[in-house]
Amino acid sequence: MLKLEKSVSQTTWIKGHRTQFGEEANAEFNKIGEDALIGLDEAGARGESGESYMQALEESSEVNKLEIEKNEDN
């Protein structure tokens, strides 16, 4: 019975951390999206091409994605 209780406790702990990670990841992605929209608005106000801004944003997001993957591996 003790093993079952320990297993349930570990499962609850893992689920809690996955939920926390998911919430943090969602918040981060929402912030990235909001920042992208603000950046597009600002670029438009300066008369810059939204396409060049989007290209820079895509390059930046690729770097961020690689950093996240690197951190997950560690």
So what's the pLDDT on residue 1?
47
Measure the CA–CA gap between 53 and 57, rounded to whole angstroms: 6
Q: Is 40 exposed, middle or buried (0-12, 13-18, 19+ CB in 10 A)?
A: middle
Q: Which pLDDT tens digit goes with each residue over 13-40?
A: 676 667 888 888 888 888 888 888 888 7
Name which of 33, 42, 41 is nearest 64 in CA terms: 33
Q: Name the H helices within 1-74.
A: 2-45, 50-73
Of the chain, the percentage scoring pLDDT greater than 90 comes to 0
Is residue 58 scored above 70 in pLDDT? yes
Instruction: Output the six-digit token pair for 51.
Output: 């396409």
Rg (CA), the chain: 20
- Average pLDDT (44-66) is 76
